[in-house]
Amino acid sequence: MTADLQRHVFVYGTLRRGDDNDINRRHPMPVYVGAARIAGTMYHLGAYPGVTLGGDGVVEGEVYAITEALEQNLDELEAVYPQQTEEYFKRHLAVSVDGQDLTCVVYEINPAFVRRAPVIPSGDWVRDRHRPEFAASTDFP
């Protein structure tokens, strides 16, 4: 891995492989590190999920090595820079991938945006986003 790819990101929603905003279609290209889980609660927000960190729930995701340029691109996508909508907060979290602890950027949803949102109990957006109980999940916050 080059020195430029020393940053890592944990993605759990539409940025996951094969989903609407697949991180692998962004540039500069990330490098897949592995599947991972973090402690948190996942909420269904219609076209995308949000995660609050901590607690007893588990969130499924993927870890990628990224460049500073790609991190800035992700900041813009998640509206933490430059528009700063306060929908998401950029956090740094230790994430274990195949026994290796990596410090990862994680975009955490502002709790004010999920007050009425249904929880995805499995914490797996890719697997469960289209379940019937989430069909009407569009009226947020």
Q: Are residues 15 and 79 in contact, defined by beta-carbon separation less than 8 angstroms? A: no
Q: Where do runs of H (alpha helix) occur along 78-135?
A: 125-128
- Asked if residue 82 belongs to a domain, the reply is yes
Indicate the SS3 state at residue 32. strand
- Asked if residue 56 belongs to a domain, the reply is yes
- Asked if residue 87 belongs to a domain, the reply is yes
- Asked if residue 29 belongs to a domain, the reply is yes
pLDDT digits (tens, 9 = 90+) for 84-128: 789 999 999 999 999 999 999 999 999 999 998 999 999 999 999
Distances (CA, A) of 51 to 101, 108, 124, 129: 20, 5, 11, 14
The total of structural domains in the chain comes to 1
Separation CA 119–CA 105 (nearest Å): 22
pLDDT digits (tens, 9 = 90+) for 26-80: 999 999 999 999 999 999 999 999 999 999 999 999 999 999 999 999 999 898 7
Supply the range of the domain harboring residue 86. 3-134
pTM of the model: 0.91
- Asked if residue 141 belongs to a domain, the reply is no
- Asked if residue 139 belongs to a domain, the reply is no
Residue 14: CATH number of its domain:
3.10.490.10
- Asked if residue 140 belongs to a domain, the reply is no
Place of tokens 């020393």: 6
